[in-house]
Amino acid sequence: MLFPRFRSKERDLRSDIDRLSSIQEVVSRALSDTESESTGLAARLEDARSRAAFLYGDVIEGDGGEASKSSILIQEAERFLVRGERRRDELGTHVAFLRQLEDQLTRGIETLRQQQQTED
């Protein structure tokens, strides 16, 4: 045999489509998970903001003992809110990246499918 055997173009295209499709499935799941985490975090942040607003009102209108406890709780809420907002920003970055990746995979798969149709 002078030249080694190569797989057919059709088989190569099927393999490429399958490979990219399996990656796309993983990216889609990661995107869905990230969006779910972001939605849950947004709800928790909104709840924490509401609670902090009530605590702040207690500090302004409260007496010394209760105001002191409320001040400590407000400081904890502020730390939670800052940490939560940072995480929400991180998740936003992740979502944007995963969407870009998903779009690139979709375009790549479509290109391969078009090539596959011209081979048929």
d(C-alpha 88, C-alpha 75), whole Å: 20
Please tell me the distance from the alpha carbon of residue 52 to that of residue 7, in angstroms, as a whole number. 65
Nearest Cα to Cα of residue 35 among 103, 95, 100, 102: 95
The per-residue pLDDT for 63 is 59
Lowest mean pLDDT among 22-26, 36-40, 59-63: 59-63
Q: Is residue 98 one of the residues assigned to a domain?
A: yes
pLDDT of 12 above 90: yes
Q: Which helix (H) or strand (E) holds 5?
A: none
CB neighbour list of residue 102: distance below 8 Å, 6 or more residues apart: 24, 27, 28, 31
Residue 23 located in a structural domain: no
Domain extent, residue 73, equals: 32-119
- 16 within some domain: no
In a domain, 22, yes or no: no
Q: How far is Cα 68 from Cα 65, in angstroms, rounded to an integer?
A: 5
Residue 60, pLDDT > 80, answer no
Identity of residue 102: E
For the chain, the domain total comes to 1
pLDDT band, very low/low/confident/very high, at 120 (cuts 50, 70, 90): low
Give the pLDDT confidence of 63-87 residue by residue, as tens digits. 556 667 777 888 888 899 999 999 9
**50 in a structural domain:** yes
Model confidence, pTM: 0.79
Evaluated on CA atoms 20, 23, 25, 31, the torsion sign reads negative
Span 45-49, average pLDDT? 91
